[in-house]
Amino acid sequence: MVSFSLFILCSLILLVQPSSSTQPLNFEPDNIELLGDAHVVAVNDAPSHVHLTHPTPSSFGLLRRPHPLFFAGSTTNFSTEFSFSISGDGSGLLLVLTAAGGNGSDSVAVEFDTSKDDNVGDPNLNHVGIDVGSHMSVAVVNVSDVNLVLNSGEKLNAWVDYNGGYKVLEVRLSKWGDQKPSDPIVSHEIDFSKLWGENPVFAGISSSNSALSVQVVSIYSWRLSLKKASHGLHSLSADRHDLSEDEHRRLCPLTVLAGVIFGTGCVALVTFVVLFMWVIFFQKGPEESLARIPDHTSDIKYERIDVAVDKNPHDDES
């Protein structure tokens, strides 16, 4: 369980204006504001990633998207992808969505939790949960079941997708560099449009250390999109699984090949029909054949051929 105080703190900080010490960082395609102890880490004098906290007790940091989201309408689809790593013991990290003017009760969070609280049913020190207006998860899964460890220091990739047509929030998790899993690790049915209406919603990623922990959480990338789906269509496929970009690229050559085969078949069929019709309607009759045999015997002429044979003189003598 990510501490409830952190849940409320994130919800409130997301709604305040950043201080003058806030550092901007461009995580394509959005500009991200850094609050608290969140800071840019440079490698070879170039910005590389963000540490949400300092490796000290009682440290707190937040990445915030400065532009609000709007979920009015039942077919609004939300997707976010970020890569991260967690080292040491602590509370993990939290992806938070909260409405302007809210007090935490109308917030939705996805916790990547490396702490355990038996009072709220945490399965272990290595789990992912979905929280709605509370520190108690409405859906939770043991990450060990998919052979991943959140605080191993290994770089991981997370996808959080909300489909307005199906009214479902899905979370996927994999090692860095792996394809997006077809099946979510955890999901929960929820209607964002009813939860927030037309109110603006702010998104952020946060982490904090307790008085006894020095955990370091690093964020390497964060992308977010909000789209309106067409009526009668959903961004998820029939089995409610998204295809990754690599899967789409893999399908494109097959689609082209199928189109070529279909086109070739159509041309062959048309050619066959044309030849068939030509044979029936346009081929010359037998009377005009170059190899015609006369219909009347009177047309046949006979010529007498005389053959002269010399007489052998020896025949007379005999």
| Chain segment 69-105, per-residue pLDDT in tens | 998 776 789 999 999 999 998 889 999 999 987 666 7
For the chain, give the mean pLDDT: 77
For 99-138, the pLDDT digits (tens) are: 987 666 789 999 999 998 888 888 899 999 999 998 889 9
pLDDT at 228: 79
pLDDT at 279: 60
- Is 80 exceeded by the pLDDT of residue 41? yes
CB 107 within 8 A of CB 98: yes
* 205 closest CA partner among 36, 21, 23, 20: 36
**Whole-number Å distance between alpha carbons of 19 and 39:** 14
Look up tokens 């489909």; give the residue. Answer: 163
* 146 closest CA partner among 115, 171, 120, 169: 171
pLDDT at 248: 47
Q: How confident is the model at residue 314 (pLDDT cuts 50, 70, 90)?
A: low
pLDDT at 245: 43
pLDDT at 246: 44
**Whole-number Å distance between alpha carbons of 155 and 213:** 20
Tell me the mean pLDDT in the region 56-64.
Answer: 93
For 152-164, the pLDDT digits (tens) are: 999 999 999 999 9
Does the predicted TM-score (pTM) go above 0.75?
no
pLDDT at 304: 56
pLDDT at 121: 81
- Is 80 exceeded by the pLDDT of residue 187? yes
Tell me the mean pLDDT in the region 274-279.
Answer: 64
Whether the ω angle into residue 29 lies within 30 degrees of 0, i.e. cis, is: yes
φ/ψ of residue 245, rounded to 5: -60, -40
pLDDT at 311: 53
| HEC string for 90-113 | CCCEEEEEEECCCCCCCEEEEEEE
* 91 closest CA partner among 117, 59, 71, 115: 115
CB 110 within 8 A of CB 95: yes
The residue ranking higher by pLDDT, 308 or 109, is: 109
Tell me the mean pLDDT in the region 42-47.
Answer: 80
| Beta strands 46-51; 39-43: pairing state | antiparallel
Q: Which amino acid is at 231?
A: H
Look up tokens 């000290």; give the residue. Answer: 56
pLDDT > 70: what percent of the chain? 63
Q: How confident is the model at residue 180 (pLDDT cuts 50, 70, 90)?
A: very high
pLDDT at 8: 46
pLDDT at 307: 52
For 204-235, the pLDDT digits (tens) are: 999 999 888 899 999 999 999 988 765 443 33
